[in-house]
Structure 1
Amino acid sequence: MKVLIAYYSMYGHIHQMAEAVAEGVREVTGAEAILRRVPETLPLEVLEKMGAVEAQKSFAHIPVCTLEELAAADAIIFGTPTRFGNMCGQMRQFLDATGQIWMQGLLVGKVGSVFASSATQHGGQESTILSFHITLLHQGMIIAGLPYTFQGQMTIDEITGGSPYGATTIAGGQGQRSPSKNELAGARFQGKYVASIAAKLVKTH
């Protein structure tokens, strides 16, 4: 059973969350976690001005996702940074290229899930995931979030990401904050949760 984790990361925060999601997926017997980056759309000179080139070297070895890999997966967990309360442009462009997959119904009945990051505590993490769900519903996917059985959602002793819609992390205004232990635990929980549901669906087909 293949669980695809397709994400975009500019400074590494979503990449770290994606790795934690993959760890959770692998906790489910027979589940294979496949990490893939969505294609970059910004030119190198722009990335250099944004200070992203050095950060991206740490995950440059992750292959770029193809549309065929979307169709071949049993479940897909998407990761995106927040851009003004929505998914980033790189992810949007990648999803906008899935028209043929939609026409053929190749994602119908598969589990879809989303995790995200934002610079600030209330920077649109939830709206990013919820608006992302619209695309997944158009593709006929079965949406899974991050249930409250993940106890880290109930904590009030730290500033932390996490919502019933999906795992999230707070990057800081200058990207200086790394995902916390609780945020990574949420990502692992989500990965395991999605893989568990997918495993049940695969058995019934």
Structure 2
Amino acid sequence: MARILVLYYSSYGHIAAMAEAVAEGVREAGHDCEIRHVPETAPKEVAEAAGFRKMEGHRQIDGPEELADFDGIVVGAPTRFGRMPSQMAAFWDRAGGLWASGKLIGKVGAAFTSTAAQHGGQETTLFSILTNLLHMGMTIVGLDYGYGEQNGVDEVKGGAPYGATTIAGGDGSRMPSEADLGGARYLGRRVAETAARLAG
């Protein structure tokens, strides 16, 4: 049985919902999954003024060294000008010792994100996450086209071959659709299955 970590940062609940769906996919495939969030680094007054939602219901990760305890890590964060936000970047900036030790080499990694618009930097944000995982020596799993629901233009939907995504809308009122959540579940399942095969 593979042990998978879903590590995320969420400002308004979109990524938290996607994290739950990724975990569902892992568990539905018969594997163990834990969800953790990185620390909020924005000043309290800034977070309150912007209406940030607290990441309740999931434990905050203590530090990068915890990552070595898992067979696979699925990282989720919203976009910030086409890249991961400072909260997630700050966490990975503390991972130099983990990189030096090589403890993540060969483990499975994947990414998911949320943007306000369909062309708001989904793929570049995914790549900004995946770049860190590749530097750690991880084997990357994307949202392959076995998940056909990411195709088509009949409705607004997320999804990219590089990871699961959702679109929040300019005012953040659009929560992940069933197609978006399905992509997150599919990604979680593929990560768990791949990690189990590599560990076997």
Matched, 1:182 2:179: yes
Distance 2:166 2:34 in 1: 21
Shift in Å at residue 91 of structure 1? 0.3
Residue in 2 that maps onto 1:61: 57
Alignment match, 1:11: 12
Match for residue 94 of structure 2 among 94, 97, 114: 97
Q: Secondary structure at the match of 2:79?
A: strand
CA shift digits 1:37-77 (9 cap, x unpaired) = 0111012111110011xx32xx4231111323211110000
Q: Output the TM-score relative to the length of structure 1.
A: 0.94
Aligned to 1:171: 168
Give the letter for the 2:34 counterpart: I
1:192 corresponding residue in structure 2: 189
Q: What's the TM-score, normalizing by structure 2? A: 0.96
Alignment partners' CA distance in 2, 1:45 and 1:62 = 22
Structure 1 segments (4+ residues) deviating >6 Å = none
Q: In the alignment, what sits opposite 1:38? A: 38
Shift of residue 187, structure 1, vs aligned partner:
0.3
Question: Which amino acid letter does the alignment assign opposite residue 153 of structure 2?
Answer: I
- Residue segments in structure 2 that go unaligned for 5+ positions in a row: none
Deviation digits for residues 1-22 of structure 1 (CA, Å, limit 9, x no counterpart)? 2100000000000000000000
Q: Show the counterpart of 1:49.
A: 49
Whole-angstrom distance in 1 between the partners of 2:126 and 2:20: 19
CA drift at 1:94: 0.1
1:80-137, CA deviations, whole angstroms, 9 ceiling, x for partnerless residues?
1000110010000000000000000010000010000001111000111112221111
Query: Which AA in structure 1 matches 2:59?
Result: P
Q: Tell me whether 1:115 sits opposite 2:116 in the alignment.
A: no
Amino acid corresponding to residue 56 of structure 2 in structure 1: A
Q: Give the Cα–Cα distance (whole angstroms) in 2 for the partners of residues 131 and 47 of structure 1.
A: 23
Identity rate, percent: 52
Q: Which amino acid aligns with 2:33?
A: A
